[in-house]
Amino acid sequence: MKMDVLLGLQWGDEGKGKVVDVLAPQYDVVARFQGGPNAGHTLEFDGIKHVLHQIPSGIFRENITNIIGNGVVLDPVILKKEIEGLHKFNIAFKKNLFISKKATIIIPTHKLLDAAYEKSKGDKKIGSTLKGIGPTYQDKIGRVALRVGDILSPDFKEKYQGLVDKHKTILSFYDFDLSQLAELEATFFDAVEFFKTLNLVDSEYEVNTYLKEGQRVLAEGAQGSLLDIDFGSYPFVTSSTTMAPGACTGLGVAPSRIGEVYGIFKAYCTRVGSGPFPTELFDEDGEAMRKEGNEFGSTTGRPRRCGWIDLPALKYSIMINGVTQLFMMKADVLNIFEQIKVCTHYELPDGTMVDRLTYELDSVEVKPVYQTVPGWNQSLADISSYDGFPKELKDYVTMLEEALEVPIKLVSVGPDRKQTILR
Ligand code: GDP
Ligand code: IMO
Ligand code: MG
């Protein structure tokens, strides 16, 4: 059996949580492979809205195994809160949540370091979620991090202290106030005790055994391809491999085992945090998108920057991920527009037209070149099939498919599970 991968093609918040929840009944296993509590994946069903940060989005479906893979950085404090927040749903965590012993642990000083690094960058800050993601991945690659399996070892406290001492040296260089540390540590160790009661496993064996037995596995990406550590708008990126190969290294699955790659994108664009965003709107259209799409961060509550769809960026993400199917989200947010703009190229300062995201592009001001198409300008609320779509929306889908050369197999027309149109 192959493992399918679902990932965001833009700057995150494309609607991955919603779609994983919608697709989950077609799978036996849902697995997160990278990122950590910087993610905020929203699910809506039966009048309930819920945001998941570290727990995979298959958790609300019965009989689905959810795995947090080795590529994830995990905050025990946030995980405890997340699990407690789900108590009212009577989820059998013992039965359906498994965590890799090789996942990396976020400790309190990682969050302090994140804050210190951001502060030192001044107006060049990344706009990090301040969840400690960058410093934790730094320690992982630097071969000094703590892993989930370490919490079971009798010398965990010494290992922890060794790492904290290193962090304190760095924090003193930044003249960082450590007065809150003792309180953060008390909460951390309390959460670690809770963590020990969860299923901590060598999840690479589990995933590969499931695949061998013919079970269907869906890998759930976090963030988006344009925030990828290698191919995103560096340095305004996150610190993990958000692309499809991240599902191999983050779960221990061979590249030959990858099946479908579902690429998910909004019918427009958003970005939260700093960094280039060629189609960003600073006018009333941008404001209207933010309002209509409720574009405020699921993790930090920050207003998301909004703009028109960007085809060069989407083509790039499709290329580096080998996307086999596209899912278009939040089509309903564009209901309000009589005309819709589609960025087909960028104009460089010297007048040259390009449609590639080259290395140089990150450091120059580019002007988006738009094609304007008619909007459908009507509600999609009562539509339950693709045939029922207004002509202008069908034309929009066809135009994007032709430009992107990958079929759009799903169109989302609202945040609820049911507001999903399959083709
Ligand atoms: P994720 O991080 O990719 O899972 O996305 P987020 O949950 O951070 O942000 C997506 C937001 O859009 C959430 O508030 C969803 O409830 C909402 N959403 C998802 N699909 C649709 C849609 O088709 N239409 C509308 N209006 N909202 C949607
Ligand atoms: P989901 O999974 C949108 C952004 C931050 C910042 C940059 C680095 O919900 O799509 P980090 O905390 O990772 O060091 O921040 O990445 N960012 C996200 N933006 N959605 C996310 O996750 C994000 N996770 C991180 O805003 O610009
Ligand atoms: Mg999100």
**pLDDT tens string 247-302:** 999 999 999 999 999 999 999 999 999 999 999 999 999 999 999 999 999 888 89
33-290-336 Cα angle (round to 5): 120
Task: Considering only CA atoms, give the Rg of the chain.
Answer: 21
Using the structure block, give the residue that is written with the tokens 């479908």. 260
Secondary structure (3-state) at 88? helix
110 vs 181: CA distance, rounded Å: 11
Distance 42 CA to ligand 3 centre (A): 7
Q: Contact, 191 vs 79, CB < 8 A?
A: yes
Give backbone dihedrals phi and psi of 3, rounded to 5 degrees, phi first.
-105, 125
59 vs 218: CA distance, rounded Å: 13
Give backbone dihedrals phi and psi of 149, rounded to 5 degrees, phi first.
-60, -30
From the CB of 34, is ligand 2 less than 6 Å away?
no
> In terms of Cα–Cα distance, which of 34, 22, 29, 176 is closest to 109?
176
Sign (positive or negative) of CA dihedral 222, 227, 232, 235? negative
DSSP string, 12-51: S-SSHHHHHHHHGGG-SEEEE-SB-TT--EEEEETTEEEE
Q: Point out the residues that are catalytic.
A: 13, 41
From the CB of 8, is ligand 1 less than 6 Å away?
yes
Ligand 2: nearest atom to the Cα of 8: 10
From the CB of 233, is ligand 2 less than 6 Å away?
no
Over the chain (423 residues), what is each successive 10-residue block's mean pLDDT? 98 98 97 98 96 97 96 98 94 95 98 97 96 98 98 97 98 94 98 98 98 98 98 97 98 98 98 96 97 92 96 98 98 98 96 94 91 98 95 98 98 97 95
For residue range 348-389, what is the model confidence (pLDDT) as tens digits?
Answer: 999 999 999 999 888 888 999 999 999 999 999 989 999 999
Question: What pLDDT was estimated at residue 299?
Answer: 83
From the CB of 50, is ligand 1 less than 6 Å away?
no
From the CB of 14, is ligand 1 less than 6 Å away?
yes
Residue 188, classified by CB atoms within 10 Å of its CB into exposed (0-12), middle (13-18) or buried (19+), is: buried
Distance 389 CA to ligand 3 centre (A): 27
Instruction: Tell the residue nearest (CA) to atom 2 of ligand 1.
Output: 13
Q: Name the residue of 6, 7, 18 whose CB sits within 8 Å of the most ligand 1 atoms, as the mutation to test its pocket.
A: 18
Question: What pLDDT was estimated at residue 298?
Answer: 85
Question: What pLDDT was estimated at residue 114?
Answer: 98
163 vs 119: CA distance, rounded Å: 22
From the CB of 16, is ligand 1 less than 6 Å away?
yes
Question: What pLDDT was estimated at residue 363?
Answer: 84
From the CB of 272, is ligand 2 less than 6 Å away?
yes
Q: Name the residue of 72, 223, 277, 296 whose CB sits within 8 Å of the most ligand 2 atoms, as the mutation to test its pocket.
A: 223
Q: Name the residue of 13, 55, 272, 410 whose CB sits within 8 Å of the most ligand 1 atoms, as the mutation to test its pocket.
A: 13
Tokens linked to 171:
């924090």
57 vs 30: CA distance, rounded Å: 7
Question: What pLDDT was estimated at residue 56?
Answer: 98
4 vs 33: CA distance, rounded Å: 12
